[in-house]
Chain A
Amino acid sequence: DQQVKQNSPSLSVQEGRISILNCDYTNSMFDYFLWYKKYPAEGPTFLISISSIKDKNEDGRFTVFLNKSAKHLSLHIVPSQPGDSAVYFCAASESNTGKLIFGQGTTLQVKP
């Protein structure tokens, strides 16, 4: 039973345009959400996070939106750059455990 889902296995966008990666979750006890970026043969690296008490968090070109009623979050990257090409993982946790539940990842390709 997958509690965190990324239904798009891949996404291709043109350099300079917006990339939107989506994530859905089922467990209403999750109160902290994170996005990780992963290059081949490397570990996931933290990108941005959001607490369930907020609906938006922005850091430079990256913005995460949280819609609690829909149990949905999204990562916006604007403008997209070729170096953003990687696998993006959505993750969720219950704050009292620290345990992360990951989605299956979305491979983003940004074309020059």
Chain B
Amino acid sequence: DTAVSQTPKYLVTQMGNDKSIKCEQNLGHDTMYWYKQDSKKFLKIMFSYNNKELIINETVPNRFSPKSPDKAHLNLHINSLELGDSAVYFCASSLRTGKAFFGQGTRLTVV
């Protein structure tokens, strides 16, 4: 059983398109996150939701919009994709202040 699963694993799309990445966790955690790993391999937090409420919103373009329909899901919508959005996006979950469990990642390539 996958604890944190995200789909798709690979996503290739053209500039200007709108795309979504889905994430689900079955760990019963109350907090979910989106992290981005850029071409230099840095892992940086983008968003955090606790019980469906946005609690962390780092300096991210407003083309990126997270949506949490319930505690177990946190989806990431990206509008008007740009070349610089190409990266690996990781979903994660944790109890409020505990260790985070990560999904396998979604490699987004914008062409």
Contact = CB atoms under 8 A, between A and B. Distances in A.
A7 to B, nearest CB: 14
A66 to B, nearest CB: 16
A99 B102 contact: no
A104 B105 contact: no
A42 interface: yes
A49 B56 CA distance: 22
A100 B101 CA distance: 11
Contact of A100 (B4, B100, B103, B104): B100
Interface in B88-111: 90, 92, 94, 96-105
User: Which secondary structure dominates chain B's binding surface?
Assistant: strand
B45 interface: yes
A36 B45 CA distance: 15
Given A41-B105, A42-B104, A93 B97 contact: yes
Interface stretch (B36-44, B64-72, B73-81): B36-44
19 contacts: A42-B105, A43-B92, A44-B43, A44-B102, A46-B100, A93-B97, A95-B97, A96-B97, A97-B48, A97-B55, A97-B56, A98-B48, A98-B50, A98-B94, A99-B33, A99-B56, A101-B45, A102-B42, A102-B44
A45 interface: yes
Contact of B31 (A42, A98, A104): A98
Nearest to B4: A43
Given A97-B48, A98-B98, A105-B41, 12 more contacts: A34-B99, A43-B4, A44-B90, A93-B97, A96-B97, A98-B48, A98-B50, A98-B96, A99-B33, A100-B100, A104-B40, A104-B41
